[in-house]
Structures are given as structure tokens and as C-alpha cells.
Amino acid sequence: MKVKFLSVMLILSLGFVFQAKSDEGMWLPNKIKQLNYADMQKLGCKLTAEEIYSINGSSLKDAIFQLQNEEGQGFCTGEMVSPQGLMFTNHHCGYEAIAKLSSTTNDYLTHGFWAMKKSDELPVEGMKVSRVVRIEDVSEQVLADVTFDMSESEREKKISAVISKLEKTAVEGTHYNCKVKEMFKGGEYYLFVFEVFGDVRLAGAPPSAIGKFGGDTDNWMWPRHTGDFSIFRVYMSPEGNPTDAYSPDNVPYKPLHHLPVSMKGIQPGDFTMIFGYPGETDRYLSSFGMEYKRDVFNPIVVKLLNTKLVIMKRHMAESDAVRIALSDTYASLANGWKLFDGEALTLKKTDAIAQKQGLEDEFADWATKNDDRSEKYSKILPQIKEMYSNLAGPTKEMIYLSLGLLQASEHTMTTLEFYGLKSQLADAKNNKDAITKSTEELKEKLGTFFDKYYPVTDKEIMMDMIMVYYNDIDADKRSGVFENYIFKTFKGKTQQESIKLFVDAVFAKSIFTSRERMEAFLNKPSAKVLDNDPMMKYLGEIIMEAQMKSGMYTSVLGKLEVAERKFIAGLREMETARVFYPDANSTLRLTYGTVQSYKPRDAVKYSHITYIDGIIEKMDNTNDEFTVPKKLVDLYEKKDFGPYVDETGNLPVAFLSDNDITGGNSGSPILNGEGHLIGLAFDGNWEWLCSNLLFSTELQRTINVDVRYVLWVIDKYAGAGHLLDEMTLIK
Ligand code: ARG
């Protein structure tokens, strides 16, 4: 039935299925005036295009910040909600910072944190936020000398020369940073000028029983009752400039724009837009790529992550110190685990792949229609198909080597940081200065290596990961480290026993599993110690092997990149009426749509909004995922909801919209037609977890925390009403 239905559908809908729907797309804000604005107005947007994105004076975009880690990698979105630099983001975005500031005596994860005055706010080391100053389409310059058939290396050379020049001249003489980003896998290029603030302080966070209510069970699911928000304040120098790090002299940042906060609430069908930093999508991925994810990539990652998570969870339940230390790593691994699992499941259960196949049939047909096209495009899909089938074997070997062995545990990763020093020590006489420098740097990292390090947990993880690798990889494909090292040096009665003896030796003798041993080594670094270290020997073999094997793997990936770029270029030639948007790549985007419910399955319709009653319904104080703080229950029983109720007199918690978002958008403001904050986007939904690969109007939703619940928690639950006094509340 299904196949028949599809073929009829395809005939009817050639050129229709893939027209961007009004709610589909993560659009570049500098282009919305030309591409989207008319459509946005029709849906209910009251702002002018200039009020949304302008490089002259202040606009909405000036309130939207990207959260970045120490390395400058963006991971979430935050927004200015007061003229004094107060910034909202999700609780799960602030989670790492909250965990880092927590200890068993000051456990902000469990109890929450509220700064009752500015001087109580807690600086977060290493956390940065950035604001886009302007965006420029530089495709013409970058691609000026590039041709369709040019070799990749020649193309690469031409492009990077132009890009470095553009990046340099764009910010000369300013404190701004600049990056040119590729769109459509190299079909277009955009220059982003931005500024980075390195003094960010925690101002408020609800307890996890609110901020993470529902835990991993409810994660990626609707109906939802999570108060997923936290509050930071951005600081600047007294002269008004961004600073690299905390300084007591810094003053609260004065944003060019802060978002008014609406208490007026939402109705189904209301216009909504979300401004933020979506991380990565693969919307132009072929059906072959989707099958590869469904059958090869995701199942492997899910299995390896699960092995780790089971052990971490048990150890975290047994000790508060371990729980606080591992909470952030656990949450992000568990989040990824559920996403990969759900993505593969939706690729199995929905028609997502069939939809892509339909488009590909159309493409193949189109490509043969004239000789020119045929020359350019007719071989691409067969090539992509073959590349994915070549990728399956190497993928399993590579991921098991990297995720299963090299990144198995905390200390395997610590060891990887010593490789530079190892090669310097091999020629110690000529590397004296470099060795001193490396050892000093590594000494400074001793804290990060060992402060929150629990060898008992780590040892169990390492043992189990090795066993999963050993059992799942056939003997002829298995890493040589077993035969050449482990089984030779650590002779047990069985191979499993040998592995155990090896792991015992690592934890008894290696410098990487003990702070004292590592310190002693760094005080007197010697090549011999490193060469004889069981951990170093083990990883050394694996790294060499991974390097050899990765050649094949990365070369297929490189070829795929080129073929996929050409496929997108072909699609854009074929579908002339369609307005294309580039895949998410951690740059500022806007998505617009409406408040919408959905039908997850036959006979079931989900409402667009949840209320506090749902929290009480889900309450289970014997389960840490569904524990409800007593204070919240008291307020509920007294119906002390203040002015935060909707027209039903009840307190809303979360709501759905059909905006198009992905990871990295977390914490993004969801705004009404006036540009007022109505909530914070924080999740996607289970029924369409393949949303990174294909949009669905019917099944894909964004889950937002209602800003009225956020305000209620701050005011009534935390008694931090002074924070609301800073905001512009629209009643
Ligand atoms: N699914 C959310 C996202 O990817 C993260 C939610 C975090 N919550 C959790 N229970 N792990 O943005």
C-alpha cells in the first residue's frame, strides 16, 4: 500500500514535495528582507525588516548572543533581556557552568542559585558570548576564479587566499573578530563580523528539579514540563569594550537592544520567530546518506555511548561527588545517545527516506534532459550511492577505534594530550625549551585532569569499552594492540583475563591514572617513563593504526563532500522556483512559523501548551528525574500564580511551535510578531528526530519553555523579583 501511495504521490507532486514550506528554513538574517519578509508579514510579523536585522543602529539581532566555550566553539544561544546585560539561556546550556561552580557543599545543580545582588554573581571561567555586528555575502569575491570542474586542491587554494584577505581587511583597526563561513557546501560564502565577551557571570539558575524536570526520560519528548532556563550577566570594561576574561573592574554590558518580555501569552496560530545559532543540519543529504545513518553510523554510536552511560549512571547514583563531577558529560552524552537512537528510528518508521528518493528520481530524470546537464550531473547520485556503500566497513572500524578505544575514558583522553611532549622527549637534547614549555602547560592542566577524576568509575568504563570493542570487531579487523601487546605482555588464562590484567596494570602503574605519578613525571620528564607506560604503549599502537585506517575513511568523506556540493548545485538549478536556505553551521539564523499542536500518531492529538498541573501529575519523589521541590508544590496548592497565568487562570509551562531549529538553537528566544519574548526554545520532538535531515510540517515541532513560567519561577519560587525589575515587561 505504502509504495503505491508514494508512487502516485510522486507523480502528482514532482517539484512540490521539496518546496520550502512557510515554516521550513533557517534563514540568514541579512537576506530576509529579499527572501522572507513578505511571507513573515502574512503570518503576522509586525516588525519591519530593518527592526529585525540592521547594521545601522540597533535591531533585534543585537540582542542575540552565541554561547561559546574556551576554544571559541559555539554551543547554545542566549538573549539580552535587560539594559544591564542580563541574559537568558536554557538550563541545559548553563549546565556546564552551574556544574563547574558546584561542589558537594554548594550544590547549585540540586538547589539552584540566585544572586540577590550583582556582587553575588559568580564569574564563569572560560565561558564567552559573542554578538554578530554584521553579515556580508562575499560569494562573488570568493568564487570569482572558481570553476565547476576545477581540482579540489586548486579550488581550495583560490578560495582560502581570498578568504584570508577578506577576513583581515574586514576588521582592521577594530576590536572585532571575523570569519568567512561556507554555505551550501561551498556554493556560497558569507562574512561574519562579531565581538566576543569573556566576562560572563551566573546570575540565577533553578534547581535541576525544575530546570531539568523530566530528565532523560522526557528529553526530546512532548508533553513537556521543564523550566529549562538559566540566567547570566555579561560584563564589559568601564570604557564599554568587551574583555577577554573576568575583572572586578568590569561593569554590566549595555546591549544595543534588549528584548521586551511579553506576559500576554500565545494562541494557536500566532506568529512566532526564533533567532539563534543552529549548529548543524544536513538537509541536502541523499537517501543513501540517510540509509547509512540509519543502518551504520547511528547504531554504532548508540551502542558505544550506552556502554559508557550505564556505568556512569550507576556510579553517579552512589556518590554526590561523582554525580557533580560527571553530570555535564553524562547529560550531553545521554542527550546525543537519545538523539542518534531516535533519528535512526524515525528514518525507519517514517517516509523520510522515501521522500528523498522521490526527489532523487526527479533529479536523475532532469539530469538526462540535455547533454550539458547530463555531463555535469547524471553521474553524481550513482557516485554518492557507491561512496556510502564503501563507507560502511571503515565507519565501523574507525568509530570503534576512536570512540571505543581512544576516547573510551577520561584518562585515555588525558594521555592523548601528552603526545607532543613524547615526540619532543625522543630528541630531548634539541628540544630543551619546548620540553620545558610543554611540561609547564601540562602542569597547569593537572587540576582539569584530576580534580574531578574518579578512577574507580573510569576503570570500569575502560574495561567495558575494551570488551565491547573486542566482542564486536571480528578478529581479522581487530586492532593489533591485542595480539602485539596486551595478550603478549599480560598473560591470563583467557583473553578476557589478559585484558583485565592490562587494565589493572594501567591503573596501578600508569602516570596517567594518578596525580602523584603524573606530577613526579612532569617534575622530571623522561622518554623512558613514557615509553614504558602501559597506557602510552597501548594508545600509541592504536593511534598509529587509526592514522593508517583513517586515510581510506577520510578520503571517501572528502569525495562525498565534493559530490554533495555538486548535487546541491544541481538541485538549485533544477528547482528554480524554490527559495533555498543553507544548512545550519553555527551561524546566526532566523526561523519563523506559528504556535502549533500536532498529531503524533493515529487518534492522538497533542495540545500546544502544558500547565503546572502536569508537573504535579508527573511528580514522583522517589525518582530523581521527576522529583518536585516542596516549595513548588506549596505554591501550586495555594494557586499562587501571580500575574503569570493565562486566560484559563492556570500557569503555562511549555508550548509548541512549528519553527525550524536544531541543536545550538537551545536557549534561543522565541518572539511574537512584535518582537517580544514569549519563551525560550529548548528541544525538538521524538516523532521527527530526523529533523536534521528533512523538515516535516506535520510532525516536526519546537518545544519552548513559556516565559511566564520562567518569570513565575524567578519571582514566586526564587524570590528574585529584583531581576524582573530590570526587564521591560509587556503586560
Ligand atoms: N534535547 C535538548 C537539546 O539537545 C537537551 C535537553 C537536555 N536535557 C536532558 N535531560 N539531557 O537541546
In the chain, the domains with their CATH numbers are: 29-127+198-283+583-730 (2.40.10.120), 287-551 (no CATH)
In angstroms, rounded to a whole number, what is the distance separating the alpha carbons of residues 360 and 322? 50
When pLDDT is cut at 50, 70 and 90, the band that residue 12 belongs to is very low
Specify the pLDDT at position 22. Answer: 61
Question: Has this prediction a pTM greater than 0.85?
Answer: yes
Q: Amino acid identity, residue 314? A: R
- Residue 540's SS3 state is helix
Nearest CA to ligand 1 atom 7: 92
Measure the CA dihedral 149/153/158/164, to 10°. 140
Specify the pLDDT at position 6. Answer: 31
**Is 92 designated active site?**
yes
666 within ligand 1 shell (Cβ under 6 A): yes
Looking at residues 363-367, what average pLDDT do you find?
Answer: 96
**Beta 64-68 vs 74-80: how paired, if at all?**
antiparallel
When pLDDT is cut at 50, 70 and 90, the band that residue 21 belongs to is low
Give me the count of residues in the chain.
731
Does the pLDDT value for residue 677 go beyond 50?
yes
For 203-254, the DSSP string reads EEE--HHHHTTTHHHHTT-SS------EEEEEEE-TTS---SS--TT-EE--
The answer to whether the beta carbons of residues 302 and 341 sit under 8 Å apart is yes
Specify the pLDDT at position 1. Answer: 25
Enumerate residues 6+ apart whose C-beta is below 8 A from 537.
Answer: 485, 531
Specify the pLDDT at position 552. Answer: 81
- Residue 497's SS3 state is helix
20: DSSP letter: P
The pLDDT tens digits for 415-474 are: 889 999 999 999 999 999 999 999 999 999 998 899 888 999 999 999 999 999 999 999
10: cell is 510522486
482: cell is 591485542
The answer to whether the beta carbons of residues 90 and 665 sit under 8 Å apart is no
The catalytic residue among 287, 327, 666, 696 is: 666
22 or 320, higher pLDDT: 320
Atom of ligand 1 nearest to the CA of 214: 10
**Is 608 designated active site?**
no
In angstroms, rounded to a whole number, what is the distance separating the alpha carbons of residues 726 and 706? 19
Nearest CA to ligand 1 atom 8: 219
Nearest CA-CA partner of 631 in 237, 112, 187: 112
The pLDDT tens digits for 698-727 are: 999 999 999 999 999 999 999 999 999 999
Enumerate residues 6+ apart whose C-beta is below 8 A from 706.
Answer: 265, 266, 609, 652, 653, 654, 655, 678, 679
Specify the pLDDT at position 553. Answer: 87
**Beta 261-262 vs 729-730: how paired, if at all?**
parallel
**Is 676 designated active site?**
no
The catalytic residue among 91, 92, 315, 608 is: 92
CB count in 10 Å sphere of residue 173: 6
Atom of ligand 1 nearest to the CA of 219: 10
In angstroms, rounded to a whole number, what is the distance separating the alpha carbons of residues 324 and 319? 9
46: cell is 509586525
Does the pLDDT value for residue 10 go beyond 70?
no
The pLDDT tens digits for 58-107 are: 999 999 999 999 889 999 999 999 999 999 999 999 999 999 999 999 99
- Residue 379's SS3 state is coil
Cα(663) to ligand 1 centroid in Å equals: 9
